[in-house]
A and B are shown apart, each in its own frame.
Chain A
Amino acid sequence: MKKFALAGNPNCGKTTLFNSLTGSTAHVGNWPGVTVDKREGVYKKTPEHVAIVDLPGIYSLSPYTPEEVIARNFILDEKPDCVINIVDATNLERNLYLTTQVMEIDVPVVVALNMMDAVEKNGDAIDAKELEKRLGVPVVKISALKGVGLDELMQRAYDFSSQERKGATVLKDSALAHLIGDVKIALDGQDVANPLFHAVKLVEQDSIEVEMHKDTVKMVEEFKATFSDDVFGDDFEALVADARYKYISKNFAPVLKRREEDKFVSTKSDKADKVLTHKIWGIPIFLVILFAIFHLTFSEDFLYLGAIFHLPSLEDLGLLDADGEFLNFGVKLLACVYDGAVFSPGVIINKLWNEILVGELFGWLGGLVEGSGMEAWAVGLINNGIFEGLAAVLSFLPQILVLFLFFSILEDSGYMARIAFILDRMFRKFGLSGRSFMPMIMGFGCSIPAMINTRTLADEKERTATVRVIPFFSCGAKLPILTAVAGAIVVWTGAGNADLITFSMYLLGIVSAILAVLLMRNTTLRGDTPPFIMELPAYHAPQFKNLMIHLWDKAKHFVKKAFTIILASTIIIWLFSHFSFAWKFLEDEEIDQSILAQISMFLQPLFTPLGFGSQLGANGWVFVVAAIAGLIAKENVIATFSTLAACLIAGGAISGAGLEVEAEDGIDAVRAMIDATGIGVPGLIAFIAFNMTTIPCFAAVATAKAELGTKKAFNNTLLFWVAASYVIASAVYTIGAFPWTIALWVVAVAAVVVCIVLRNKNLAKKGA
């Protein structure tokens, strides 16, 4: 099977072309050793099937980024039968810069002139025939977005791939032409493959080449000693770049015939940017868009119709029976869309999925297991252990996907690059660049894709800092902890407002993240924030097919990672809470003898400064169990609470406190249990704070490990999470329970800040 590689600039439509060519055969992997996506697929319409590899988006074949090295090594070492170079026709000169470098390699090259429709729409025209003549390789006009010209492209590439092609350079007329020629002859003599490419790179004194051809590089250095240019001095790299651009604008650019009008016609994109990146309105507009996304995904009162028009609830409409159950299936369906307020699309999808699909399915399966006549422990394991675990994971899927969908739209339309730009100034104050914003905001959905998204950050230290604070942006799985515990506080004290507590907890997470980044960037992760250079691609409507492919990728990733780990962990928790150290199966009532309870009671004193340790009564250990279970997956916290509450109530360990509550009503049982432990409001809030900022979950930990690269960075990250959550939760508890301690905290923080400032001043002096 022949092998073609797709090469091109970022944002040139390469991935769209790849998706159109390969369709369902595509799969995503990783390039060995680096966290850059590797996409491969098969094209089937040529006489012989063709394997297609999508190289990462690059501007050049220099060795400065992992993407460039990957693309370069692939073309040189794996020797594809043909390189299809995608060129964004709306930005011809810049894109041809890469083309001139690819053409120096001895490989068949075909240029795919993409986005021709956009060029023609502007009233401009490109003479592809003329460009083909001047470049010396086939040029095919295509529109990847509309699927135009793809078959012709592949046919020509297929035909061309069976020919031998020798590399050609555009540096023939430059001052360095002789040197390049001499080096090439020398390399040829050493039987080096692709001598022209290596010769040019060697003249540029490219670090990889210098390493590879230590002897030959002397030729370059000797020549350099005798050479000086007025503008560039002896910087050959800049000289070569300049020569390429000069050649391109003189010889290739004229194939573009611009419409005869004044030079500064602003495109539609420029006009949109006037508003969307406006220095005053840019940020407010973005906040409105962000709020709209969260509203559409999470709001249970769409457009606040319910609050504004005082819509009646289903109960008021008489659609519930005496027990508060739905009258019929139709009402149940209606309850997914409306109950005193119209739900937002995200919530509707979520409810339909959870109440109808997942709920019914697992209810049916659970009944089946119970009726099967298996032993009690097996029924317990399957129903409470496995099925509940599965349902817990699946229940978060819809809202996370809806959130992803919106973010994919922002990304595909080109707006995301603008957001990074307008936020850059603000983020710089904390020691981050605007690019780190995207992963952080994604953290509100799920930490896993958020951590993967940090790949867009070029600076390793900035990336580490971002990965570490991502879990502070409270993810979907942490929301139930907030709502359940905050709800308990409200019901219980009769004062306050659950919304307010939830909101301030989100805020606490964000503030902690900012402080943590400031701290890290001033101590362990010191370094300059990299300069912000970002291409702003032209706005375009996102394409449905692409969005679905994005979504499918992310859903697969999420389900695969979360499924395996959470499923395993729920089984383990169930086993540990139903077996004693003597490995004897325990009834629900005996849960306090279980392995889990014993370990938690042992660890309980550790949590005393956090308000849920030794100071609590007999059942105080449930908080420790929940927190530990939460290290595996945050869904486990409330799940563990409800399991434990059910066991404790059934076992009669909790009495009084109005325990006529049905054991099945999970949240009420949880509240009764929390009540029975005697924990105070400060302790509860500290418990939430601890769960929000500690080690996120196994799946996220595994992702962090993969993304951080070095073992040291990963271990420090784990340590950071534990320390941060311990400090934050202690602060919340002690200040809440004993307000005078605020003075101690202020003194401690001030001392730390003074130490860091003094130390950095010292370091700066030494450095200077």
Chain B
Amino acid sequence: MPIVLAPVNAALKIVKIVADDKTKKHLENLGVTMGGEITVLSSSGGAVVVKVKDGRIALDTMLSKKIFVA
């Protein structure tokens, strides 16, 4: 499911990232990689705050629809 629909405070795995190379690379640098662990801390109207490798990252609606987790 896209991360925008994901439950809060559950350990999830990233299975797919649909984005251009530059965005993908930036996400990689921040620790958001394929197969990586991710936890949604809060989700409001499409924008989400996630926890990845102990860092907190805010993503907007556009991106939160493009990151798929399982």
Contacts and interface: CB of A to CB of B under 8 A. Distances in A.
B5 to A, nearest CB: 16
A538 B33 contact: no
Given A93-B54, A242-B34, A424-B47, A531 B29 contact: no
Contact of A279 (B29, B41, B45): B45
B63 A531 contact: yes
Nearest to A58: B29
Given A241-B33, A264-B9, A273-B41, A533 B24 contact: no
Interface string B21-49: 11111111111011110010110111101
Interface in A94-130: 94, 97
Nearest to B37: A249
A533 B26 contact: yes
Interface string A239-272: 0011001000000000000000001101001100
Interface stretch (A230-238, A310-318, A487-495, A673-681): A230-238
Contacts of B22: 64
B54 A534 contact: no
A538 B31 CA distance: 17
B58 A245 contact: no
Given A232-B34, A273-B42, A532-B63, A237 B25 contact: yes
Contacts of A274: 42
A704 B25 CA distance: 30
A428 B60 CA distance: 10
Q: Mostly helix, strand, loop or mixed at chain B's interface?
A: mixed
Nearest to A428: B60
Contacts of A279: 44-45
A182 interface: no
A90 B58 contact: no
A536 interface: yes
Contact of B24 (A238, A418, A428, A537): A238
A433 B58 CA distance: 13
Contacts of B45: 279, 425
B29 A273 contact: no
Contact of A417 (B42, B53, B58): B58
A535 B30 contact: yes
A424 B56 contact: no
A274 B22 CA distance: 30
B25 A534 contact: no
Nearest to B20: A531
Given A94-B30, A238-B34, A425-B45, A531 B62 contact: yes
Nearest to A98: B29
B6 interface: no
Interface of A: 59-60, 62, 64, 90-94, 97, 231-232, 237-238, 241-242, 245, 263-264, 266, 269-270, 273-274, 277-279, 417-418, 421, 424-425, 428, 433, 531-538
When A and B form their complex, which 9 residue pairs have the shortest distance between CB atoms, in order from nearest?
A279-B44, A59-B29, A532-B60, A536-B56, A93-B53, A421-B58, A94-B31, A91-B54, A241-B28
